A and B are shown apart, each in its own frame.
Chain A
Amino acid sequence: MSGAKEHILTCINCPMGCTITVKAKGSKVLSVDGNECKAGEKYAILEMEHPMRILTSTVKVKNGILSRIPVRSSAELPKGNIRECVRLLNDLEVNAPIDIHSPVLKDLLGTGVDIITTRSMERDGE
């Protein structure tokens, strides 16, 4: 078919890391091949149309047993926004004690996705 291009992707959904060949016209997927399971097909289509990633990073924490607390996005974010989102986290500071899965930033860039802690942190000296 004219205008169709082949793309080689690596599925990131599991450690197998299947090499997937996608034929697409622009971002319209025509065929998907090489995926070991259904999740790979879904990934390949999304990857061509609108790639998404989970963001993980850390933010500053005051009065904690450590000075940083790890965080992640509560759902996948558009891949293109990841760097901008990390920059937003740089200015953030939270207070210990804090629970695991506490939101530290809500509705990131209007995506409806929150940034949540991935561990709890006690106050220093307790």
Chain B
Amino acid sequence: MNAKVAVIGGGPAGLGAAVAAYEAGINPEDIHIIERDMELGGILQQCIHNGFGQLIFGEMMTGPEYASHYIDEVLKAGIRFHLNTMVLDISPDRVITAVNQEECLMRINADSIILAMGCRERTRYQIHLPGERPAGIYPAGTVQRLINIEGALPGRRAVILGSGDIGMIMARRLVLEGAEVEGVYEIMGSPSGLPRNVQQCLRDFEIPLHLSHTVTGIHGNRRLEGVTISRVNPESLKPMPGTERYVECDTLVLSVGLIPENELSEGAGIKLDGWTGGPIVDEERETSVDGIFGCGNAVHVYDLVDDVTKSSELAGRSAARYVKGETICREHVLSITAGENVRYTVPQHIRKQSDEPVEVFFRVYLEAANVKLQALVAAEVISEESRRVVKPPIMEKIILQGDLLPVDGEIIIQVVEK
């Protein structure tokens, strides 16, 4: 099979990219979305709460509603999609190997590929949780799937480790479904999820949030019976002896972070960024391998699906441009570097010739008030914006005007006090 644009993953990123490629003039018959699940929509199908779509639609939608808008667009356009189909391998010359029930092994020769595989959750092994290994320990996304899709309550009394958005959202959901949530424990000194979720998911339901605390013991043979909680030193994050407390629970929900899903990218020889966990991309979202683009949570973990859609539309348009041979590379690559109080940036460099403004997304390390976001070239400010406050859970963005970009060198993104 041949494809002009092959999209891997049918979540909001994949759907947005496919529709944008179509709108940029690619024949819908030549666009293929490959999705391993039984339906399109990705993780949004299990995110039944509201709070999606505010930036794009100006209203708060639920995850399934947001997904259905883009699924309808894909259907209307006549873009091809393959469900229950799992991509196993991508080669650097863009041959995709996938499997499904009907065709068994499937090979697609693609002129361009868009990676939109989303992200996965960190597990207990990745955060080195000590103790026994009973049943009853779940990543928050699994709890979300169990309750919202399968209608099963994982337990009666839960402890939540980590204050990521999904963990807080599931704390509320567990309470509404009749379970008890003893508390949310966060190792850092501030919540890792959005402030609005601290309010509407925890405070609204009187669920205690314990900052600078972590789980230091797991107890139970077959089923979880309880956990040990300790206070941590706010600087070293090490548990403080003598602060241990036993908490009875049959369920431990982990909301300890997400990592872009990139086994396929590695197989294709795509260079990954150690900070984001996703491919290094340029301003058009092209990876280090020619004709392979990335978007959505596969590139870096977004907190808002609206931004996922925008990034995917950019990747879709870029893939279309690539397929039509309209891409013009700059003579010199401009690197974008994370400066003061900036953890990482996406894109990591600028490679194409264009006057279009470039949006640089980034996250800060630390909360700070009354700051300026700045882009510097050779110690000179080329773009600046003010913020009353910046917080690690909230992704930031600064816009670089195309005509202000230098011919070569480095752009430093920093956040400094006013």
Q: Which residues of A contact B (CB under 8 A)?
A: 9-19, 36, 53-54, 56-58, 60, 65-68, 70, 72, 79, 82-83, 86, 100, 118-120
Contact = CB atoms under 8 A, between A and B. Distances in A.
Contacts of B62: 56, 70, 72, 118
B304 A12 contact: no
Nearest to B61: A118
Contacts, number: 82
B50 A54 contact: yes
Contacts of B203: 10
Contacts of A10: 195-196, 198-199, 203
Contacts of B177: 86
A86 B176 contact: yes
Interface residues of B, number: 34
Contacts of B54: 14-15
Contacts of A18: 195
A14 B196 CA distance: 7
5 contacts: A14-B196, A19-B195, A57-B176, A68-B151, A86-B177
Interface in B45-66: 45, 48-51, 54, 60, 62-65
B200 A12 contact: yes
A8 to B, nearest CB: 10
Given A58-B148, A119-B65, A70 B48 contact: yes
Nearest to A13: B196
Contacts of A14: 54, 196
Contact of A68 (B51, B65, B150): B150
B304 A15 contact: yes
Given A58-B148, A66-B150, 13 more contacts: A10-B196, A13-B196, A14-B54, A15-B194, A56-B49, A56-B62, A58-B147, A65-B39, A67-B151, A72-B62, A118-B65, A119-B45, A119-B68
Contacts of A11: 196
B359 interface: no
A54 B394 contact: no
B48 A100 contact: no
A83 B176 CA distance: 6
A15 B391 CA distance: 11
B199 A9 contact: yes
Contacts of A36: 388
B408 interface: no
Give the one of A12, A19, A53, A86 with max B CB within 10 A: A12
Given A65-B38, A67-B150, A83-B176, A72 B50 contact: yes
A53 B60 CA distance: 12
A12 B204 CA distance: 11
A50 B199 CA distance: 16
Nearest to A59: B151
B149 interface: yes
Contacts of A15: 51, 54, 194, 196, 303-304, 394
A65 B84 CA distance: 14
Interface string B368-395: 0000000000000000000010000010
Contacts of B39: 65
Contacts of A118: 48, 62, 64-65
Interface in B31-48: 38-39, 45, 48
A120 B72 CA distance: 11
Contacts of B394: 15-17
Contacts of B176: 57, 82-83, 86
A82 B49 CA distance: 14
B45 A58 contact: no
A19 B388 CA distance: 11
Contacts of A16: 195, 394
Contacts of B151: 58, 60, 67-68
B283 to A, nearest CB: 24
Given A58-B48, A70-B62, A118-B64, A53 B196 contact: no
A16 to B, nearest CB: 7
A68 B46 CA distance: 11
Contact of B194 (A17, A56, A57, A72): A17
Nearest to B175: A83
A9 B195 CA distance: 10
B148 A68 contact: yes
A10 B199 CA distance: 6
Contacts of A17: 194-196, 198-199, 394
